[in-house]
Amino acid sequence: MCVFLLSIFFNYRYYQTIKEEEQQFAYLFTDFYYEVDETIDSLEFLLTHDPEGNKLIDSMVSFLNQLTRIDFMLRRVPYYFFSEGGVSNSVGAAANYIERGTKHKGQFIPPFLEDGRLNGQERAFLQELNSFLLQVQYALNGLEKRSDVPIRDLDKVRFDRVLTENVYNEIHHYRFLEAYVKEGQGSN
């Protein structure tokens, strides 16, 4: 009888632990999804309204803060489950390039806020980043087009696969740089 009661107790505790982990994952997924969605909205505002001066600075700082929040979430993923989190990701790389600049294929890419406006190369970079973020959002939904409602039954394995194939794959952040360089070559 004692063994039976202990078994019930431990099974119940195990059940509670599993439910708590599922709830934490649901929070992570929902927060991540909506951060991506808000970031897409901010980026589309930048691309369609083409602000300059202080309005550009305010919009870009807000956008960079959103990218930084997503990057932070991606680096915390291992806390929730077995993904490759904690390593570099395309979102963090993009934020770094925008904020600090970089060098790619022998071309210096200056920080985007340096001159108070978005030039054609910076717009090409941001458009490629927007396409990437939409791709991530579609993959989270299992859809081919943007949706306002995320899938509620996304499991950890599929979420991990979406992150691994899209966000932790270094090829994506090179696409942003390639778009920048290509636009510069086309305008020469």
Cβ atoms of 25 and 81 closer than 8 Å: yes
pLDDT at 150: 52
- The CA distance from 167 to 125, in Å, is 16
Cβ atoms of 112 and 122 closer than 8 Å: yes
Cβ atoms of 112 and 118 closer than 8 Å: yes
pLDDT at 122: 95
pLDDT at 42: 94
Task: Give the angle subtended at the CA of 7 by the CAs of 5 and 12, to the nearest 5°.
Answer: 100
pLDDT at 151: 57
Walk along the chain (188 residues) in steps of 10 and give the mean pLDDT of each run.
Answer: 72 73 77 92 92 90 94 75 64 94 91 88 96 90 57 70 82 90 78
pLDDT at 70: 92
- The CA distance from 160 to 70, in Å, is 15
**Cα–Cα nearest to 32, from 75, 88, 63, 94:** 75
In 3-state terms, what secondary structure has residue 87?
coil
pTM of the model: 0.81
φ/ψ (deg, to 5) at 107: -105, 130
pLDDT at 147: 52
